[in-house]
A = this chain, B = another copy of it.
Amino acid sequence: MSTVLPPKNPENDPRIKAVFDDIRTTRKTDFINNIWRYLAFDADLLERTWAEVKAVMATPSALDPQTKEMLYLAVSIINNCAYCVHSHTAGAKAKGMTQAQHAELLKIVALASKTNQLAVALQVPTDPEFLLEE
């Protein structure tokens, strides 16, 4: 079903093993989900992608982990990535998203898509009030 074959024994490669170990340590779980197993077809791509995910998503920052996962999920829905919609719905729930919050996220995503298309269809000019003053 995939366009590359994931390595059969990925952790024989010390670069891949180091990334997988860091995923396990950072996430406090033994579960390595498929995106990492498939990215492992190229060690450099795997290392760089994980480094960025770890820095942005798994490091304390100006937004709380649940909000970050919900933003990731909203983007994944609009980009229409089925794998990502599954993994980040699970991720947002794991960070505390309730069913009511999930439903509300869906309402916002749906409403935003609707008004986005209306603004594009009408070619509405930007209000001067929204522009920044230098």
Contacts and interface: CB of A to CB of B under 8 A. Distances in A.
Task: State the copy count for this chain.
Answer: 6
Contacts of A106: 42, 45, 118, 121-122
A78 B111 contact: no
Name, among A1, A105, A109, A115, the residue most crowded by chain B CB atoms within 10 Å (CB to CB): A115
A24 interface: no
Interface residues of A, number: 82
A3 B77 CA distance: 11
Interface of A: 1-5, 31, 33-35, 38-39, 41-42, 44-45, 48-49, 52-53, 55-57, 61-63, 67-68, 70-72, 74-90, 98-127, 129-132, 134
